[in-house]
Chains A and B, each alone.
Chain A
Amino acid sequence: MGAGHGHHLHFHGHSPVHHLPAHLKLLALVGFVLTVVLTPRTAFAAYAVYLLLVLVAQRASRVPFGYFAKRMVVEVPFVLFALLMPFVATGPRVDVGPLRLSEHGLVGGFALLAKGTLGVMASLVLATTTEPRHVVAGLERLRLPGQLVQIMGFMVRYLEVVTGELSRMKVARESRGFRATSVRAWPVLATTAGALFIRSYERGERVHLAMLSRGYTGSLPVTHPATATPAQWRVAGMLPAAALATLLVVVTR
C-alpha cells in the first residue's frame, strides 16, 4: 500500500551485483523467494540462514544499509496484519505475560513476518541495484508479453517527467497558500489528479504520434537482445542455490 517513494528507485553504483544482467537478477530473486516460501514455518534455523544470505547479497551490492532499510517501510501494513495473527487465530492458547495468544497464530504470524520480510529484502537488492529501464529489458528477455513490456517501458521512461509535473503542481498549489490538512482539501487534490490524468493522457497521445511519425506499427523493434556470460550465471545462481541447499538440509534432517 504505502507507495511513498518518488523516483529515486535505484542507487547508482558499480558493485558486482549492479553489473549482473537484470534478467539473471530477476531469476535469482524468484528462485530465492520461492525457496523461502516453500520452507516449513517452524524451520527457524533456515530463516536465520536466509536472512544471512540476503544480508550478504545486500552488502555485496555496496548500497548503504540505511538507504536500504528506509525502503523497507513498504512492508508496514502487513507487519501489522501479521502481528494481529496471534490474537485472532484459532487453536490452543498459550499465556505470554498477561496475554492469552493462539499458539498456531504465533507461529503463523512469525512465518508471515519472516517470509514477507525476506521477500521485501531480496526484492530491494534487485530494486536498489538495477536501473528501472534495465528491469524492463530483463523482463522482456524473460518473455513477458511484448505489449506489457512496452507499457512498462513507457511508464518507466516518463516516471521522472510526470513526478516532476506533480511536484510543480504541488508548488503551484502551495505558493497560493494551500495546505492539505483535512478532508476539506480533497476537492483540490482530486482536481490535481484530474489535471494529471489529462496531462498524462495527452502526453500518451503525443508520444504515440511521435512513434507513428517514425514508422511504428504496434511492436518495438528488438535490436540488441541482452546476453549473459556463464560466469554471470554462476554469480547470480549463488543466492538461490545456497537457499535451496539450506532448505534441503532442513527438510531431510
Chain B
Amino acid sequence: MTTPVLEVRGLAYAYPDGHQALFGVNLHVHQGERVALLGPNGAGKTTLVLHLNGILTAGAGSVSVSGLPVTEPNLMEVRRRVGVVFQDPDDQLFMPSVRADVEFGPANLGLRGAALEARVVAALDQVGMLDFIDRPPHHLSFGQRRRVAVATVLAMEPEILVLDEPSSNLDPASRRELADIIRSLDVTVLMVTHDLPYAYELCPRSVVLSDGVVVADGTTREVLTDDALMSAHRLELPFGFDPRTIPTP
C-alpha cells in the first residue's frame, strides 16, 4: 500500500491546564479520500486537528504527513502540506483585506510578485470570491468569509485539507455552495463535523472519535446506520434524515 497522506499513531495529549483530551488515537487517511471525523462535543476532535500540522506537540505517539514526521524541523513543510480551515472564519481572516489574507500563507513560503498574485487569484477563483479581492474581511457575509478562509489555505496548495465544522452557521444556500466547492477540489479532505447529513453527502468514509479515542471507522453509511454505536457516543441523526432511505451519494 502507498504511504498514507496522514498517519496518526497512538497519539495522546493533555493541555497545560491538566485536562487530557486525547488518549491514544490511531488514524490513516489515504490520497484522494474524503473522510469525516465525527464525535460528540469534547471528544477531542479539535485537539486532534491541532496535532495534524504541529501546532500542538504529541504528548505520546506520532503524526506524519506523506511520510514526513510532524516534528520541529519539518514544521514549515508540514504546514504547507496540511491546510487547516478553522471553525470561525474571523480567526482565520486576520489581515486587513481579502488579498492580504490569501497572500499570507504563500508569502510565508517565500512567494512574491507574479507567482504570488497567480496563487491568490487561482485560490479565490476556486471558491468563487475573486470579485471581493480588495474588500476588508469584516465587510463580507459569514458564508463569504468561510469561502475566503478556504481560499487562504488553498493558496498554499496543500496535500490534505482539514475542515473544522465547515457547515456551521451557514444558511442552506451557502451550505450548498460550499459543498459544491469541496467536491470540485482535487485534494484529500478530512472534515470534522457534527453535521451528519453533510458528512454523508460529501464523505464516503467516517471515523468516530469519542472521549479521546477512535471508536469506529467504516463507510459513512455503516457508521450512521449503527444505532448502538450512534447512541453510545451521543451522535444523533437530525429529524427526518434516514441514511437507509437515501441512495449512497
A positions within 8 Å CB-CB of B: 131, 133, 136-137, 153-154, 156-158, 160-161, 203, 206-207, 209-217, 220-221, 223-224
Contacts and interface: CB of A to CB of B under 8 A. Distances in A.
B96 A214 contact: no
Interface centre among A158, A203, A214, A224 (most CB of B within 10 A): A214
Contacts of B153: 213-214
B86 A209 contact: yes
B116 A210 contact: no
Contact of B91 (A210, A220, A221, A224): A210
Top 8 A-B pairs ranked by shortest CB distance? A215-B108, A214-B105, A221-B107, A133-B96, A206-B91, A210-B92, A213-B84, A207-B94
Among A133, A158, A207, A213, max chain B CB count under 10 A is at A213
Interface residues of B, number: 33
Contacts of B76: 215, 217
B107 A223 contact: yes
**Main secondary structure on chain A at its contact with chain B?**
helix
A53 B88 CA distance: 47
Nearest to B97: A133
Given A214-B152, A223-B107, A223-B116, A157 B80 contact: no
B94 A157 contact: yes
Contact of B96 (A136, A215, A217, A223): A136
Given A215-B76, A215-B156, A206 B104 contact: no
A156 B107 CA distance: 22
Contacts of A220: 104
A213 B116 contact: no
B84 A211 contact: no
